[in-house]
Structure 1
Amino acid sequence: MGRKGLIALIVIVLLCVLGYLAVQRGQQQRTAQIEQAPWLAAEQGYLSTLQALEIEQPGQPAVRIERKGEQWVVPAKADYPAAPQALAELLRALREARTVEAKTANPQWHARLGLAEKGEGDEQALRMRLQFDGHPDLGLRLGNPSRQGSGQLVRRAGEDQVWLIDQQLQVPTRELDWLDRRVTHIPFTRIASLELRYADGEKLTLKRADAEQYNFAVEELRKEQKLSFEGAANSVALVFSNLQFADAAPLAQVGFKQSPMLQFSLAGFDGQRLEGALYKQGEQYWLVLGEHEGFAVGEVSARSDWAYRLEPEQVQRLAKKLRDLLAKSS
């Protein structure tokens, strides 16, 4: 090969290399643009119009929450309010989720990634359907968390392409986990008195003269009796500072067969008032709130036409008698 031919060959090779590099760079730029884009890019503009959400864990009944006016409710629980934080966190994650990497588009690999439509429980995807106002429904499939970081494998319903996103979507799969489980959130420092009245006639009355007095005094305490420690009675009133139920049901559905084992009256320093009763039904304990007034928004969230099941530990703290507060005799 002559000198001119060699030079021409070198030029051709260089042009081919430069062309290949240009193509590769273009592909990398397009891939980077895809990988940096929001996962739900097409829905970004109307995620806030969400009207209903359905979640189905393989082998479990589907859970549905709906918007009713300005409130989110759980229809299967007689439209009881849904927990606002769980929904807010999910919507935030959906809005912020960005694609990290395109994974397989072969459906034969979906089971291994926890994204299959059928199969064993750990092979199937968590199904989620979002319904919007004036826009098409959106079906999503949520699979295994990423092994390399905090992301998750996902795909759209009806599509085989699997994506790794940079968020892990925390989706409650039980109706109970979607309920707003707050009963009361009354600041301890605002409670002036609490009176417990038992079915056997015994009574326990806790009082404070003013907000400067931290520990509750026990009216029924005789001179020869002593509390186990100075603030022994405080734990009873503290129950109402962050009381959450274990389960809930409409009052008419529970149908109590006996009188309450305990009734209580709570009063605040600023005129707040709360009445309630505790029932035992079988081996379970249910709290029912009566009239209440004077509380700030969020301090009393429970409804008077519902019954709230409490855990045994909560009942043990609330249903104390005088003997439970006394110092042990030597």
Structure 2
Amino acid sequence: MNRHVLYLLLILLLGGLGGFLLMQKDQQVGGLEQGLLLPELAARAGDLVTIRVQDGQGQNIEVSLVDGQWRVSSHGQYPADEEKLSQLLTELLEAKKLQAKTGQAEHYHRLGLQDIDAPDSSASLLTISTATQSWQLLVGNVPASGQGQFVRMADGGQSWLIDQGLSLPVLARDWMRQPVLDIPEENVASVSRLDANQRWQVKRTTMTEDFLLASKPDGRMLKYATILNGLVSNLTNINFEDVRPLEDSFWQSLTPVASLQLSLFDGTELTLELAVQDGKHFLRVSGTEQGAYWENWLYQVSNFTASQINKEQEDFLAEPAEPEDKLPVSVEEGDAPR
């Protein structure tokens, strides 16, 4: 999703928001207007260029629009998950003030709405900006009912309960594009393990076929019919736990574990290399596709993910069948068994 998709989202929302604004214009509770939380945002949502989340524990996550693409600018310009950004923008555009809460600073802590530089603050400061305008919103606790969330504008004293929660990231990776590869599994023609002593290959000739294990030992069966399809699905849906810029010196310090090659039906080839250091597994992706976003990064993956990459041929095969028992030898009465 890029700027044009955000425009489309904005158009779809404006019709409903306009009617709501007319109905809520004169509604008052205790002298405080209910209505949309950020009514002025609707007219500028298509112009947003930066979204930032900060908290009192030092977290600082920022995404920025760069050449028409959203990037996690606080963490090396990694591609952002634009669906999650769209979800947050939708929540902000639709959020309504349900109930006025405290306007006294000494009570903010009860709602998790202290300034983020206050001791023991648990609030998140959300800043959304165009090139010329910014909105800053403190986001606090979820009420005991589990419905809505407490918020207040950073430059205003009044706090509010709004009608829905806001989907903020806890870690930078929450706003990063996942999975690692942007390749549909149906595009994969073959997967080969390249390690000298662990070579195997699974392949197919059309997108609709199941994968077959090349050079399967005679008399051996797969553990189950779809095990090879599952392997390819796992490889094309690898999620990472952390990401860092690729540095050759660091990569060379790791211990190699496995190397796989994915060949696509369009001729593209990708190499997945798995390495380990101090119990942490790292994945490097390279290939024939020039300028791919993943080529400049090193991905830390879970031990489970590492086990899905580090497969041996025997992992795909059922245990060998037990030899059939020999038929009992018939012994006639009076004859001694031989």
TM-score, reference length from structure 2: 0.77
> Could you tell me how far apart the structure 1 residues matched to 2:232 and 2:73 are?
33
Which residue, out of 235, 250, 258, partners 1:262? 258
The answer to whether the 8 A contact 1:272-1:293 is kept is: yes
Aligned residues: 294
The answer to whether the 8 A contact 1:150-1:167 is kept is: yes
Give the aligned partner of residue 194 of structure 1: 191
| Residue deviations 1:230-264 (CA, integer Å, cap 9, x gap) | 33333322223322222211111743325743222
Give the aligned partner of residue 49 of structure 1: 47
The answer to whether the 8 A contact 1:181-1:246 is kept is: no
User: Does 1:314 find its partner at 2:310?
Assistant: no
TM-score, reference length from structure 1: 0.79
Which residue, out of 270, 273, 279, partners 1:274? 270
> Could you tell me how far apart the structure 2 residues matched to 1:35 and 1:100 are?
10
The answer to whether the 8 A contact 2:28-2:34 is kept is: no
Q: CA deviation at 1:203?
A: 0.3
Q: CA deviation at 1:323?
A: 1.7
User: Does 1:164 find its partner at 2:161?
Assistant: yes
> Could you tell me how far apart the structure 1 residues matched to 2:304 and 2:60 are?
31
Q: CA deviation at 1:290?
A: 1.5
> Could you tell me how far apart the structure 1 residues matched to 2:184 and 2:155 are?
50
Give the aligned partner of residue 96 of structure 1: 94
User: Does 1:243 find its partner at 2:238?
Assistant: yes
Matches within 5 A, 1:281-300: 281-293=277-289
Give the aligned partner of residue 64 of structure 1: 62
Give the aligned partner of residue 210 of structure 1: 206
> Could you tell me how far apart the structure 2 residues matched to 1:30 and 1:236 are?
59
Which residue, out of 143, 149, 153, partners 1:152? 149
User: Does 1:134 find its partner at 2:132?
Assistant: yes
> Could you tell me how far apart the structure 1 residues matched to 2:242 and 2:182 are?
17
Q: CA deviation at 1:208?
A: 1.9
Matched position secondary structure for 2:41: helix
Q: CA deviation at 1:80?
A: 1.0
Q: CA deviation at 1:328?
A: 2.1
The answer to whether the 8 A contact 1:73-1:79 is kept is: yes
Matched position secondary structure for 1:184: coil
The answer to whether the 8 A contact 1:275-1:292 is kept is: no
RMSD of Structure 2 on Structure 1 (CA)? 2.7
Q: 1:212 to 1:115 in 2, by over 3 A?
A: closer
Give the aligned partner of residue 22 of structure 1: none
> Could you tell me how far apart the structure 2 residues matched to 1:149 and 1:310 are?
33
Q: CA deviation at 1:95?
A: 0.9
Higher gyration radius (CA): 1
Q: Which deviates further from its counterpart, 260-269 or 66-75?
A: 260-269
Q: CA deviation at 1:302?
A: 4.7
User: Does 1:113 find its partner at 2:111?
Assistant: yes
Q: 1:66 to 1:293 in 2, by over 3 A?
A: closer
Give the aligned partner of residue 178 of structure 2: 181
| Residue deviations 1:46-95 (CA, integer Å, cap 9, x gap) | 13322222212222332222221211222332111122122111111111
Matched position secondary structure for 1:183: coil
Q: CA deviation at 1:190?
A: 3.3
Equivalent pairs: percent with the same residue?
A: 26
| Structure 1 counterpart of 2:131, one-letter code | D
> Could you tell me how far apart the structure 2 residues matched to 1:29 and 1:77 are?
43
| Structure 2 counterpart of 1:228, one-letter code | K
Matched position secondary structure for 1:168: coil
| Residue deviations 1:98-137 (CA, integer Å, cap 9, x gap) | 111222222222111111226553x5422122222122x3
User: Does 1:232 find its partner at 2:227?
Assistant: yes
| Structure 2 counterpart of 1:309, one-letter code | Q
| Residue deviations 1:144-181 (CA, integer Å, cap 9, x gap) | 22344622111111211112211211111322222113
Unmatched 5+ stretches in structure 2: 1-25, 323-338
| Structure 1 counterpart of 2:194, one-letter code | R
Q: 1:174 to 1:256 in 2, by over 3 A?
A: same
| Structure 2 counterpart of 1:182, one-letter code | P
| Structure 1 counterpart of 2:244, one-letter code | A
Which residue, out of 67, 82, 85, partners 1:84? 82
> Could you tell me how far apart the structure 1 residues matched to 2:230 and 2:258 are?
17
Q: 1:147 to 1:269 in 2, by over 3 A?
A: same
Matched position secondary structure for 1:87: helix
The answer to whether the 8 A contact 2:257-2:310 is kept is: no
The answer to whether the 8 A contact 1:256-1:279 is kept is: no
